[in-house]
Amino acid sequence: MTLPARLAETLRQPATLVIAVSGGVDSLCLSAVAAIARRGMDLTLCHAVSPAVPKAATTRVRAFAASRDLALKIVDAGEFADGRYRANPVNRCYFCKSNLYGMLTRLGAGSAVAAGTNLDDLGDYRPGLQAAKEHGILHPFVEARMDKADIRALARVLDLGDIADLPASPCLASRVETGLRVEPAELAMIDAVETALRASLGEITLRCRRLRTGLAIEIDQALLEQFDADRLAELTALARKASSPLGGGDLAITLRPYRRGSAFLHA
């Protein structure tokens, strides 16, 4: 198989390599390429688990590593012990990634650490990229001048199946409105609601936002407009049933079109 030359070259350079794997298409595709490019060389995948990581993502990472016989370490980055992260300021991601990358560089003991950052990520406000810079994290897709569409196309070439079409799904903490404290119980509620709705709707772009006013269920506008009143009521009931055992019984629930980053309140 012919890999993108610059990408393969970047991945072969370190003597030892750790890849931070979230469970999304970017990091899994990067891992698949690294497994080919670095055949016979040291490679370890690291997946951080915490209340902010959907259970489905961890299950996907475990299955991916097992199917390719790749070394996988499941770790706790420790961000929930960081009060700055839990306070959910506008730069919350900086504290999350600082904890993650600091732990991975210590764990790797001199290994290079790579992440699935791509060109599209550079045009957005991502304080986590500052943390990556401070810890010397490699961005092979950026080096290879690849964006999200390029990565999805490569994932199909690599025969990664459904992974190639996974909708973007940032950590669960990104669903909590800026300034609201990040609480594990509420993240569990968000995950439960999204899991219940995806069981009904499939792997679509979907967010359950925790706002000061309650819960906002966001679905791609074109799909949302296809639903009649009965279907909207059914989805609201599903969200209520999933959220109630986890503290959401009294929260207002609204359905609205998906808007990227709508829980993030800019200064």
pLDDT (tens digit per residue) in 140-186: 999 999 999 999 999 999 999 999 999 988 999 999 999 999 999 99
CA distances from 235 to 142, 191, 251 (A): 39, 15, 15
Cβ–Cβ under 8 Å, residues 257 and 265: no
Round to whole Å and give the CA distance between 208 and 101: 27
- Give ranges for CATH 3.30.300 in the chain: 172-257
Res. 255: pLDDT tops 60: yes
- Residues 204-252 have pLDDT tens digits of 999 999 999 999 999 999 999 999 999 999 999 999 999 999 999 899 9
The single residue listed with the structure tokens 């929930």 is 80
Taking residue 132's Cβ as centre, other Cβ atoms within 10 Å add up to 23
Q: Where in the chain is CATH 3.40.50.620? A: 5-165
CA separation for the pair 205, 149 (Å, rounded) = 16
Indicate the angle between helix axes 229-243 and 184-201, nearest 10 degrees.
Answer: 140
| Residues recognised as catalytic | 171
The pTM (predicted TM-score) of the whole model is 0.93
Looking at residue 169, what is its pLDDT? 84
Is 3.40.50.620 the CATH number for 5-165?
yes
The arrangement of strands across the sheet holding 206-211 comes to: 206-211, 214-219, 253-257
Structural domain 172-257, CATH architecture = 2-Layer Sandwich (3.30)
Residue 192, C-beta contacts closer than 8 angstroms, at least 6 positions apart: 242, 243, 245, 246
Which range among 17-21, 36-40, 121-125, 182-186 shows the weakest confidence by mean pLDDT? 121-125
Strand segments (E) across the chain: 16-20, 42-48, 71-75, 112-114, 206-211, 214-219, 253-257
Q: Is 246 exposed, middle or buried (0-12, 13-18, 19+ CB in 10 A)?
A: middle
